Structure 1
C-alpha cells in the first residue's frame, strides 16, 4: 500500500500491522500509565456515579420526553441504513460500539502511536490527562475488548457537555440534541423557503407563507441525524464520578500548532466529536453524512477545511479504515487530503481554489451553536442555585451532597435555560418559586 509522505498526513494508509507496533519510548510511557491504573487513578474504569445519573434522568419528564422525541425523529429518516443505525445508537441499551470491537490493549497503543506519528495528538497530554492518552482516546466502556463493547451509561443519562458547560447535568444530552435537531431541520426549511421557491414564471421568489414546493434539494436525513451522531459519544466521554461530577474530555485531532497542512493552525477538538465520527465510519455510513457530521465543530469554509479533514483523518485511524478508499477523503493534485466530491460536485474539479462543499455541512454547523446561550445560562444558574440552596436545606460547601441531591436533579428536571430565562424576567424569587415545585413533589 502506498504511503503518502507530506506534512501531517504520514500514516493514513499504514497497514493494520503498523497499528500494533508502538515505538519503544512510547511503550515506556504507557507502562507508567499502567502503573497509574494500579494506583487507582481515575477515568480508567466506568464512572462510579453513572448509576446515580441514570436514576435522576430516568425520572425527569424533561429528559425522558426529549429522549422519546429523538427516537420518534429517527423514524422519519428515509435512508434505511442511516435510520436503523441511528435508532440503534440512541435507543438500544445493548448497542455495540463497533469501532472498539475486539480491540486489544496492544492495538490501542498502536493506534495512539499512529496518531502521534500523524501529528493528530499531543504527547504532553499523556502526563496531564487522567489515565493518560489511552484513557482519553479510549475512555472506559462495558465489555471492553469483546466483540460487542457497550456504552457505560445510556444515551439519555449523559450530559450535553463537560463540567460547568452547557447542559452539564444528567440527561442534558437528549435535551441538547432535541434542540439541535429542531434547529438543524429549521435551518434547512428556511433555506428552502428563501432560496428554493419559484413563481409561475420559473424565477425565484420569497414567500415564506406560501405552500409552494421547494425546487432545491437539502437532505432532511442529513440534517436530522447529524446532530444526534455528532454527540453520540458523550455517554462514553462524559461519565459520572462518585461525587456527581463528570470525567474530563481529551481534546485531540491535531497537535495544536502546525495542523493546517504543516502551516500554523489548531484543529484540536473535543474527543466526543472524533469518537462519534469513528463509530459512523465503522458502521459504513455514507461520506456525505459523515462529512456533515464532521462539520459540527467547524464548517469546512473560510479556510477551515483542514480542521474537518484532520477530524476525519483521526477518526479513520480510530476506526482502522482507509478514509480515501471508503470515500471519506480524497487526494488533490498537490497530494493533499481534501474533502471528496460527493453528489454532483464531481462534475467539475473546484479544489484548486475552493472546497468541495454541500449546504448541509454548513447548516449542521449552524445548528450546533446553542452554546452561545446555553453556556452562560448554566454558569449563571450555578451561582443562583448556590445562593438559594440553603432555602431548601442544602449546603453548597458540602459538595457531593449538594451536587448529587440538589444541583443535578434541579437542572435535570428544570433545565438551565428555563431557570436562566425565569431569572431574567422574575429575579431570584422566580428561581426559588420554580425550584419549589421540585420540593413540593419531594424530588429534592
Structure 2
C-alpha cells in the first residue's frame, strides 16, 4: 500500500492518502469540533432527509448517534484522533471478510492491486489503437502510455485505500475479541430511489469514509469514485451513490453541490459530469458523461468479498473443530477469540487456509496452524 500510495502524482492526494493509514495521530477532519449538540443536529438532518432509519440502530448501544459517530479519542476537540491503528483494524464485521487484526490492510492492499489490474486491462482491451487508428485488444498493458483513453491512475490508486478508512472507527474490538456492531445508513430501505421503491442503505464505514475525504477537500473525481465502491452508479443504481454522497456531505457539514460532488438537474440531485484532465478535475471544461469508467473499476476492485466471506465462514467452523488440539475451546469465547481464532487468521488468513483445506484436506490445514504453535504465537 505504501508503494502504491507513493506513486500518486497529485501531491495533495498523495500526502492525504499516506497520512490516512500511516499516521496514527491524524486528525479526523469531519469530527473537528463536533460536539454532542452538533451530533444531534446532524442526526436530525439525516432522519429528515430519509438517509437513516432509526429502527436499524436498535441493536447498537447508543442508537443512531453511536452508529454514525463511533467513539474516537479527543472527541469534539480541534483534533479528534482514531481509536485504533491501521495495523490492528479488521476488514469487516466479526465473521465477515478479513475480520481479524490486520485484516483491513490485507483487504485494502488486495483491492488496490485489483484496481490497478482492472485499469490496465481496460486500457489494454479498449484503449490501444493499431495502424489504422482502430482499437485492438491486447489484454493487460504495463506501459500506460500505449493507451489513448484516459483512466486517472491517481484515483485508481487512492480510491481503494480511502474507501474503508473509517473501519478504524466502526469496527473497534470488544474485550471478548468480537467487534462493534456497524450501523447501515444512507437511506431508509423503502423509497430511496428518488422517491420510488429502492434501498440505498449501506455499511456506515462507507459513508463515514466519504465524509472524511469531503472534509479534506479531495476532488469530486476521487470522492465519487470512492463512493462507487458498494455500487457503481450504473444499471439504475445512480440513486445509491447520490444518497451516499448526500449523507456524507451532511456529516462533513458541507454543501455537496457547491463543492462539485453533486449537481441539481431539473430539481433532482445527480452525479456531475466531470472532465478527466491530468490528475484532477476541471468543472469549467466538463465532459458529457456523468458515469466514468473509474467508478466501475473501483466497484469491481471491491468485490473480493465474493471469495473472502465464504472463506472466513468455512474456516471459522474448521477452527472451532480443531481448536482442542491446540488447547482451546470455542465455548470459552474471550480466550478462544483473542488467543486462537484472531491470531490464526491474522497470521495465516482465511483465504490461504481455505485453499489449503480445499486442495490438501484437514490434516494439512492443521499442519499450517502448527507453524504458529512452533513459533509460540498460539
Normalising by structure 2, report the TM-score: 0.95
1:411 and 2:345 equivalent? yes
Distance in structure 2 (CA, Å) of the matches to 1:124 and 1:205:
53
Q: How far has the Cα of 1:214 moved from its partner?
A: 1.1
Q: How far has the Cα of 1:201 moved from its partner?
A: 2.4
Q: 1:378 aligns with which of 304, 312, 330?
A: 312
Distance in structure 2 (CA, Å) of the matches to 1:425 and 1:357:
41
Distance in structure 2 (CA, Å) of the matches to 1:230 and 1:305:
18
The answer to whether the Cα contact below 8 Å between 2:122 and 2:140 also exists between their aligned partners in 1 is no
- SS of the residue corresponding to residue 124 of structure 1 reads helix
Aligned to 1:340: 272
Q: 1:83 aligns with which of 8, 11, 14?
A: 14
How many residues align structurally?
370
Distance in structure 2 (CA, Å) of the matches to 1:166 and 1:186:
21
Q: How far has the Cα of 1:199 moved from its partner?
A: 1.5
Distance in structure 2 (CA, Å) of the matches to 1:322 and 1:230:
21
Query: Per the alignment, do residues 266 and 209 of structure 1 end up closer, same or farther by CA in structure 2, a change over 3 Å counting?
Result: closer
Q: How far has the Cα of 1:396 moved from its partner?
A: 1.3
Distance in structure 1 (CA, Å) of the matches to 2:252 and 2:165:
15
Aligned to 2:377: 443
Which has the larger displacement, 197-206 or 75-84? 197-206
1:17-36 superposed matches below 5 A: none
Aligned to 1:252: 185
Deviating above 4 A after TM superposition, structure 1's stretches of 4 or more consecutive aligned residues are: 209-212, 344-350
Q: How far has the Cα of 1:207 moved from its partner?
A: 2.6
Query: Per the alignment, do residues 171 and 349 of structure 1 end up closer, same or farther by CA in structure 2, a change over 3 Å counting?
Result: closer
Aligned to 2:280: none
Q: How far has the Cα of 1:209 moved from its partner?
A: 7.6
Q: How far has the Cα of 1:123 moved from its partner?
A: 2.1
> Which structure has the greater CA radius of gyration?
1
Q: How far has the Cα of 1:113 moved from its partner?
A: 0.2
Aligned to 2:323: 389
1:357 and 2:291 equivalent? yes
Distance in structure 1 (CA, Å) of the matches to 2:44 and 2:57:
12
- SS of the residue corresponding to residue 54 of structure 2 reads coil
- SS of the residue corresponding to residue 404 of structure 1 reads helix
Aligned to 2:196: 263
Aligned to 2:336: 402
Q: How far has the Cα of 1:398 moved from its partner?
A: 1.0
Q: How far has the Cα of 1:397 moved from its partner?
A: 1.2
Q: How far has the Cα of 1:347 moved from its partner?
A: 7.0
The answer to whether the Cα contact below 8 Å between 2:54 and 2:63 also exists between their aligned partners in 1 is no
What runs of 5+ residues in structure 1 fail to find an aligned partner? 1-69
Q: How far has the Cα of 1:386 moved from its partner?
A: 0.6
Aligned to 1:325: 258
Distance in structure 1 (CA, Å) of the matches to 2:263 and 2:191:
21
- SS of the residue corresponding to residue 240 of structure 1 reads coil
Distance in structure 2 (CA, Å) of the matches to 1:207 and 1:126:
49
Aligned to 1:426: 360
1:275-354 superposed matches below 5 A: 275-333=208-266, 335-343=267-275
1:141 and 2:72 equivalent? yes
- SS of the residue corresponding to residue 97 of structure 2 reads coil
Deviations 1:167-203 (A, max 9, x none): 0000000001110000001000001111111112222
- SS of the residue corresponding to residue 343 of structure 1 reads coil
Aligned to 1:92: 23
Distance in structure 2 (CA, Å) of the matches to 1:195 and 1:222:
19
The answer to whether the Cα contact below 8 Å between 2:89 and 2:102 also exists between their aligned partners in 1 is yes
1:130 and 2:61 equivalent? yes
Deviations 1:337-367 (A, max 9, x none): 00011106987896xxxx7111000010000
Distance in structure 2 (CA, Å) of the matches to 1:117 and 1:131:
19
- SS of the residue corresponding to residue 128 of structure 1 reads coil
Q: How far has the Cα of 1:246 moved from its partner?
A: 0.5
Deviations 1:233-280 (A, max 9, x none): 001000000001000000000011010111100000000000000000
CA RMSD of aligned residues (A): 1.5
Q: 2:149 aligns with which of 197, 216, 224?
A: 216
Query: Per the alignment, do residues 329 and 151 of structure 1 end up closer, same or farther by CA in structure 2, a change over 3 Å counting?
Result: same
Distance in structure 2 (CA, Å) of the matches to 1:346 and 1:285:
17
